[in-house]
Amino acid sequence: MSDLPQLPDQSEDSVGAGADDLPPRRLLLVHAHPDDESIGNGATMARYAAEGARVTLVTCTLGEEGEVIPPELAHLTADRDDTLGEHRIGELAAAMKELGVTDHRFLGGPGRYRDSGMMGVASNDRPGCFWQADPDEAAAHLVAVVREVRPQVLVTYDENGGYGHPDHIQAHRVAMRGRELAADPAFRPDLGAAWDIPKVYWNCMPRSVLEAGFAALRAAGREIPFPGIASADDVPGVVDDSLVTAAVDGSAYAGRKAAAMAAHATQIAVDGPFFALSNDLGQPMPAMEYYRLVHGTSGAAAGWEGDLFAGLDLFAGLEEAR
Ligand SMILES: [Zn+2]
């Protein structure tokens, strides 16, 4: 990339060929199922991709245990054809096209870890499901990605996975453990040179913003096609405003986010600035997306950061990693 400073040629024993192609800003997101990324970070991903950042999405499962909204696709579910996972690979690809994100991967490859289903159901115990995975073994797959793309920013869920879904909790564990292991030069040198991600954020939704969104939904009244309205309990990562540290304004990319969410047609029904999951309860679709900085230093002099890369030396570490 022309923006990069002159760096020495890669030596023969260096790993992660492609370092020459790394742009100055690199964002890694770790999510549980196809659709979580568009709902939680769609505007952020579209904005940074449009601005030339490398946006890498790692999705941990194919979402095989999901419900299906369109009746004509109802046969895909786990209790019938059990082909929803393959179908959702296509939905995710279409969503990433809408967001302009070209680097999206499944942890360990597609189908390596199966969707565990909601907490407390029998599929939690199924061998091969993500909930049954050894976090260290799963994290090693992420270490390879971290050392290849050398992100400065990692985005994932809080320790409760935002709302207690086993795959979201496990995605949190794998993301946090993966960051730690990737930074340890003694861990699996065959996976590439150590890389210490300087900033880690957890997704969140400030309570006041959510309440305003629900008020807008109620005000829209009968104009919205959903039979009911969700509550704060249905929304992942709701926190007191005081815990929020960053807000990324993706207003210019609201349409892209809506299109990406609509691409996950088995999971999401989109209507204007609102959407519903398979429970048919309306939710607001904010183009402003919120984060909690849990590792690293805020780049904002005061108040919330507006840019997840704020305060970073964008070229730090690139030479040592080569
Ligand atoms: Zn999910």
Distance (Å) of CA 214 to CA 207, 243, 276: 11, 20, 13
Q: What is the pTM of this model?
A: 0.92
Output the CA 71–ligand 1 centroid distance in Å: 21
What's the pLDDT tens digit per position in 180-200? 999 999 999 999 999 999 999
Question: What is the CATH classification number for the domain harbouring 166?
Answer: 3.40.50.10320
- Among the residues of 51-134, which ranges form H helices? 84-99
pLDDT at position 10 over 70: no
Provide the pLDDT confidence category of residue 18 given band limits of 50, 70 and 90: low
Query: Does any domain span residue 133?
Result: yes
Query: Does any domain span residue 309?
Result: no
Predicted local distance difference test score (pLDDT) of residue 318: 67
Residue type, 150: R
Output the CA 292–ligand 1 centroid distance in Å: 19
Predicted local distance difference test score (pLDDT) of residue 232: 87
Predicted local distance difference test score (pLDDT) of residue 8: 41
Query: Does any domain span residue 87?
Result: yes
Query: Does any domain span residue 20?
Result: no
Output the CA 268–ligand 1 centroid distance in Å: 12
Angle at 57 between CA 53 and CA 62, to 5 degrees: 160
pLDDT at position 50 over 70: yes
Predicted local distance difference test score (pLDDT) of residue 315: 84
Query: Does any domain span residue 45?
Result: yes
Task: Average the pLDDT over 99-110 and give the result.
Answer: 98
Output the CA 33–ligand 1 centroid distance in Å: 5
Query: Does any domain span residue 90?
Result: yes
The protein residues having their C-beta less than 5 angstroms from ligand 1 (an ion) are 32-33, 36
Output the CA 168–ligand 1 centroid distance in Å: 6
Please indicate if the annotation marks 31 as binding a ligand: no
Which residue range is the domain that position 157 belongs to? 26-295
Predicted local distance difference test score (pLDDT) of residue 319: 61
pLDDT at position 9 over 80: no
Output the CA 3–ligand 1 centroid distance in Å: 36
Predicted local distance difference test score (pLDDT) of residue 154: 99
What's the pLDDT tens digit per position in 38-47? 999 999 999 9
What's the pLDDT tens digit per position in 118-171? 999 999 999 999 999 999 999 999 999 999 999 999 999 999 999 899 999 999
Task: Average the pLDDT over 72-84 and give the result.
Answer: 97
Residue 136: burial class (beta carbons within 10 Å; 0-12, 13-18, 19+) = middle
What's the pLDDT tens digit per position in 232-256? 888 999 999 999 999 999 999 999 9
Please indicate if the annotation marks 75 as binding a ligand: no
How many domains does one find in the chain?
1
Please indicate if the annotation marks 168 as binding a ligand: yes
Query: Does any domain span residue 41?
Result: yes
Query: Does any domain span residue 13?
Result: no
Structure tokens at 156: 């994932």
Task: Average the pLDDT over 261-289 and give the result.
Answer: 94
